[in-house]
Amino acid sequence: MICLLAKFFIRDFEKTNLPKVRQGYGIISGATGVAFNILLFITKLSASIISGSISILGDALNNLSDAASSIVTLIGFKLSGQAADEEHPFGHGRIEYVAGLIVSLLIIITGIELIHSSFTKILNPESTTFTAVVGAILVFSIIIKLIMFQGNLQAAKKIDSAALRSTAIDSISDVLTTSIVLISSFISFYFNLNIDGFMGVVVGLLIVRAGINAARDTINPLLGEPPSKELLEEIENTVKNHDGVLGVHDIVIHNYGPSRIFMSLHVEVPSRQNLITVHDLIDDIENELRQKYHCTAVIHMDPVVVNSSIAELKRKIKHILEELDPKLTFHDFRMIHSENQVKKLAFDVVVPYKYDLSEEQILDYLRDHIRGIDPNLICDIEIDYK
């Protein structure tokens, strides 16, 4: 639904990496969310008045909360599309994540309030009424929420938005909760089993759970999460496709909001290559990364000595690391000759997070084995976690 509307209301709707296009998708999602949720709140409130059901009333209040959440989403996307300024030189993209977090908190608060009201109904039970009109309203609500789920999920995938993903999760949660309310209302009336309050508690717990899951999706990018392996491999392949590049490492990506990426990386080049030629190569790579990922890219050049003796030593170090653990890799391999003829071997070892061996154990192992190759070598080894 959202993607369909985007074709009519968003210029260049297929260029989802552009901030203005992302903003358009978010505004459409927010506007349709407000309209649909207010409609559902009014219809369910009517059903609650007719039936006297606390679970239906809770479901109606949940839709009112969803309408408020949609307003937050709409405002969040509107603000996140603002250009950078003196106070926010990296733009306002993270407002989208903040909006998603606020939506999640509103969902959790709604669930807690419903649980509280449901316990009151359990302690003071009242009879409920179920009619064809009540049933039709709840079925209508389920259909609308399924449409909203599909629309928001499709849009979230298209623009890679945590906020829209949270909205989609909330919509499918509403489908489940309304289904439970429909079944419980039917059972309570036709089988004379007063389970309305108990079902209200179940619905409230499901709403809280959906809010917590949605919050997790927005907190992670706010705190800082690593880029996907697929993106890192894609960047590495893009850089390596340039003639003269020997290797790529230390790719760091800072996310200041969707479509606002700041990237830094180290590119290995032959040490004997002309400096001006290398500078032009680095500029070309930065420009390609900037155009391809709409990011700010900064590259540090690492000159690498390429000769037979260095290549042989590098092969031996690789073998030593593989004997310790095939998962360990290294980069930035270089031999440093000082004025007093002391040879220093320097390189960085890439170690996974939560690794069994400590840094000292890894370094001691490498120094001992490298000493066996050449006792005169001084090792300068850094540990990188990845």
Q: What is the pLDDT of residues 156-202, one digit of tens each?
A: 888 878 778 878 887 887 887 788 778 877 787 777 777 767 877 88
- Alpha-carbon distance 137 to 53, whole Å? 13
Task: Among 100-104, 128-132, 153-157, name the most confident range.
Answer: 153-157
pLDDT band at 386 (very low <50, low <70, confident <90, very high): confident
Q: What percent of the chain has pLDDT over 90?
A: 14
Determine the average pLDDT of the residues in 35-55. Answer: 86
pLDDT at 246 over 80: yes
**Strand, coil or helix: 258:** coil
- Alpha-carbon distance 343 to 357, whole Å? 28
Q: Which residues, at least 6 apart from 253, have a Cβ–Cβ distance to it below 8 Å?
A: 227, 231, 261, 262, 263, 295
Q: Could you identify the residue written with the tokens 């003639």? A: 243
pLDDT band at 126 (very low <50, low <70, confident <90, very high): low
pLDDT at 14 over 70: yes
Q: Which residues, at least 6 apart from 201, have a Cβ–Cβ distance to it below 8 Å?
A: 115, 118, 119, 122
Q: Which residues, at least 6 apart from 344, have a Cβ–Cβ distance to it below 8 Å?
A: 335, 336, 337, 338, 377, 378, 379, 380
Determine the average pLDDT of the residues in 150-159. Answer: 87
Angle, in degrees to the nearest 10, between helices 275-293 and 229-240: 140
Locate the DSSP E strands across the chain. 247-255, 261-270, 295-304, 329-337, 343-351, 378-385
Angle, in degrees to the nearest 10, between helices 308-324 and 359-373: 140
pLDDT band at 105 (very low <50, low <70, confident <90, very high): confident
pLDDT band at 95 (very low <50, low <70, confident <90, very high): confident
The third-level CATH classification (topology) of the domain covering 2-223 is Alpha-lytic protease prodomain-like (1.20.1510)
Task: Among 5-14, 89-98, 202-211, 281-290, name the most confident range.
Answer: 281-290
pLDDT at 100: 75
Question: Of the candidates 151, 175, 147, which has an alpha carbon nearest to the alpha carbon of residue 165?
Answer: 151
Residue 357 carries which DSSP code? S
pLDDT at 253 over 90: no
Six token digits for residue 93: 């993209």
pLDDT band at 343 (very low <50, low <70, confident <90, very high): confident
Six token digits for residue 33: 């969310």
Determine the average pLDDT of the residues in 52-60. Answer: 77
pLDDT band at 280 (very low <50, low <70, confident <90, very high): very high
Determine the average pLDDT of the residues in 40-44. Answer: 90
Determine the average pLDDT of the residues in 265-283. Answer: 90
pLDDT band at 299 (very low <50, low <70, confident <90, very high): very high
**Strand, coil or helix: 254:** strand
Please indicate whether residue 135 or residue 73 has the higher confidence score (pLDDT). 135
The third-level CATH classification (topology) of the domain covering 230-385 is Alpha-Beta Plaits (3.30.70)
How many residues are present in the chain?
386
pLDDT at 90 over 80: no
For the chain, give every domain's residue range: 2-223, 230-385
> b/e for 239-270, b at 16 or more Cβ within 10 A?
beeeebbebbbbbebebbbbbbbebebbbbbe
pLDDT at 259: 61
pLDDT at 129: 72
pLDDT at 209 over 80: yes
